[in-house]
Structure 1
């Protein structure tokens, strides 16, 4: 299910989301000595990244990763890893750990197996998950156009390879099973266009047509939607 939080300005959204996430991470570290958060790429979260990076948190005990990543070099403009390093792993958050999804040159079965073991050991279940949403209703790299869309929802492995047909680059993505188990799920979106996509996602139930529906309509998931114009 979902709860919609609407804001007049993106700066207000960024500030309040940063406050909420900071509180969750602080409590997680106090409870179990560590915390984990997965974020998404794109231009939308940059303000949130900056706001969160300035929080006085026990960053040494917090691991940051991505919900998904394009299989490109970190120097590429398409790299979400680069985006996170330039916008979130700054200020106070420079002391956080970062779990790289893109490791090595080839996204092969051996690489996936190693990453799945590491993710289970160091990250999962995630304390915080920040999702984005594409115009086609994809989230993370759960793409409706991909041949792997069935696997995205059926595999119990934390990570899988996805090759979207309507977007460039092979991807590595957390599976629905791994993302669903996150303790706190947020969907961060902005603009009237994304509000229209959100409304379309809420209007019907086919999760393979619009994967974001799985997070908005599953009764076992409480997704907090943060939206600003």
Structure 2
């Protein structure tokens, strides 16, 4: 399932999404004593990150992580971790805990096992998930071109998996569809006419292996809130 929320300007979307997410995190902390949120990289969420970072929340009880990460050094321009530190873990949100997806030298079975255990203990189920979407319909690092696509989409997959995309650089570590879709609050944050056309194509079809974002749009038990601005 999905619902489309359209905004005429990106800064209006950023403010509205920050308000919505702040309320969800606050409610989760009030209910459980803690909250978790997985965000996505790229240029689109920067304004949202900066708006959310200014919210007066019990950040000491909130853990932030990424929906996926490239297996690169944190000082690389390709690092989503660096993006989050520079734009979200600032101001009020500087007190949040960050759960690193890239830990260790290699993304081997031992690393994945350790990360999955830590995620189960501290993060899951995620209270809020903020997804992005590529021109090919991938989301997180669930790439249609990868040999791991069936594992990415399988309902019995581990929470964190290694992905080797064939049409994009860098080895990746990503939350699986099963782990992301288990969140009660899934958002797809996109902007621009080109992404709106990609979204229309995704909505019109059913094959999630062709466009993985379809798994979130068409799953009957997932309510994906789409936030789009020009």
Partner of 2:41: 41
Q: How big is the shift at 1:153? A: 1.4
Q: TM-score, normalised on structure 1?
A: 0.99
Structural RMSD (CA): 0.5
Q: Distance in 2 between matches of 1:110 and 1:20?
A: 37
How far does residue 85 in structure 1 lie from its aligned partner after superposition? Answer: 0.2
CA distance in 2, matches of 1:156, 1:149: 11
Which residue does the alignment assign to 1:116?
116
For residue 156 of structure 1, what is the aligned residue in structure 2? 157
How far is 1:156 from its partner? 2.5
State how 1:1-229 maps to structure 2 within 5 Å: 1-154=1-154, 155-229=156-230
Aligned residue pairs total 229
* TM-score (normalised: structure 2): 0.99
Q: How big is each residue's C-alpha offset from its partner over 1:6-36, in whole Å with a ceiling of 9 and x where there is no partner? A: 0000000000000000000001001110000
CA distance in 1, matches of 2:134, 2:145: 12
| Displacement after TM superposition at 1:104 (Å) | 1.1
Helix, strand or coil: the match of 2:4? strand
CA distance in 2, matches of 1:223, 1:177: 14
Q: Which runs of 4+ in 1 moved over 6 A?
A: none
Q: Distance in 2 between matches of 1:175 and 1:149?
A: 10
SS in 2 for 1:135: coil
Note the C-alpha offset of 1:183: 1.4
C-alpha distance in 2 between matches for 1:125 and 1:150: 22
